[in-house]
Every structure is written in C-alpha cells, then in structure tokens.
Amino acid sequence: MESTIKHEESAKSAVINKNINLFIDNKAVPAGSGDTLLLAARKAGIHIPALCYHEKIKPHGACRLCIVEIVKKGKSRIVASCAYPAEEGLQVFTESLKITEIRKHLVELYMALFPYNEEIKALAKKYGLKETRYHKENNYCILCGLCVRYCAEVKKENAIGFIGRGTSKKVAFIPDSSYFKYCVNCMECMDICPTGVFPSNYGIERLPQTSDF
C-alpha cells in the first residue's frame, strides 16, 4: 500500500506545474497536474456523485457512483472519475446516455442496500426511481471502506479492517476483541461514515430515519 502512495506522488511530481485542459460535459475545464477527473470537476463546480471518496484518502473505486464516460482517440470508455487522472484534451461526460442508464441501475441497487443516504435519495429522485425491484438488504454498511482507510491512512492506526470476501465481506475492528489496543478513540471514523451505521453499531444513536424518495 505504502508503495502505491509513493507511486502516485511520483506520478504527480512528474507532471507538476503543468496545467491541463480537458472538457467535462463539453465545458472547457482547467485541471492541475495530478488531479483526478472528480477533483477537476469539483473545482469547476460540476457535481459528480461519490460515496467512497474523501480528499484525504487514496481513491478506492468501490462505490462506482462516480463513473463517467471518457472519449479518447474516438473510443469511449467508462471509468471511475475518483481515480482517473486528468489528461490534456480529454472529453469527459458525467451524464451521457450510457452513464445515466448504468448509474440509474446502480442507484436502484443502492436503494436495496442502503436507501437512507442523501446522495442516493437525490439520485433516485433525479432518475425518477420510486421503488427498487431488488431484494431489500437494508444492510446499512455499504463497505465504502472510508472508516478503514481513514484509520489506516490518516490516523495511521489500522484499528479497523475488512474481513471475509465476496458477498460475506464485512468491516470489523481488528482484532475484533482487542481493538482498544490500537484505537485512539478519535471517533473520526464515525463522522466519516456515509450511512451512519458505524456509530449505531457501537452504541451511538445516529441512524438517519427516513427513506422517502
């Protein structure tokens, strides 16, 4: 992991001080070197939904809400904007027909997983989704990993981690019973959690209560 950060830094420094111009939704947007598409869009006031992104942590690419369509050499591709680096002249579409179709499916899936998040509610409204056709999980934890990564990368504590894989993957304190050994009790992971499940799991009542669309 360490090395990936280093790599990203070196990738950044390699192109430093070079301003990039790209097009997001046909609008010319300047970007700093090393910026991701998501960052460039945010700086230009263009909203791209994102649930697993945090400016202090490395991109994770798990929520997939930030997908955009890019066109390069006449070829179109779908990428996660939170990780894709800004490139000179790149055409980016945040709400192309294809993106709308796919993100709409994705939001419907989220509605079965965790319908309470404001971003998900807003997107559902935007796409005219009132109900989900999928089996309701109401799992609360969407495994965005913000808590895990924040603890590891910002607090350098590694008190929380993922366990299991596939559909049985979970977030847990590591090792579950003796987490106090590592945990500095900063509580910051609780604030960072986009679903609020984290506080509730540990006895703090912060669950959002409505799921109206």
- 5, 17, 38, 56, 173 from 11: Cα distances, Å: 10, 13, 17, 17, 33
In whole angstroms, what is the distance from residue 56 CA to residue 95 CA? 26
Which contiguous run of DSSP H or E holds residue 31? strand 27-31
- Partner from other proteins, ligand FES, none contacting 66, C-beta within 5 to 8 A by type: ligand FES
- Judge residue 14's burial from the number of C-beta atoms within 10 Å of its C-beta, 0-12 exposed, 13-18 middle, 19 or more buried: exposed
- Candidates 125, 134, 175, 178; binder of other proteins (CB under 8 A) is 134
- Partner from other proteins, ligand FES, none contacting 27, C-beta within 5 to 8 A by type: none
- Partner from other proteins, ligand FES, none contacting 53, C-beta within 5 to 8 A by type: ligand FES
Nearest residue to 152 via CA among 173, 170, 168, 166: 173
Residues 61-100 binding ligand FES (CB under 6 A) are 61-66, 80, 82
Residues 79-118 binding other proteins (CB under 8 A) are 79-80, 83-85, 98, 101-102, 105-106, 109-110, 112-113
- Candidates 20, 53, 107, 195; binder of ligand FES (CB under 6 A) is 53
For the packed helices 97-113 and 118-126, what is the interaxial angle rounded to 10 degrees? 130
| Distance of alpha carbon 114 from the chain centroid | 15
The widest CA-to-CA distance across the chain, in whole angstroms, is: 54
Binding segment toward ligand FES, per CB under 6 A, in 20-28, 45-53, 110-118, 122-130: 45-53
Minimum distance between the CB of residue 49 and ligand FES, rounded to whole angstroms?
Answer: 8
Check binding of 51 to ligand FES (CB under 6 A): yes
Q: Which residues of the shown chain bind ligand FES in the complex (CB under 6 A)?
A: 50-53, 61-66, 80, 82
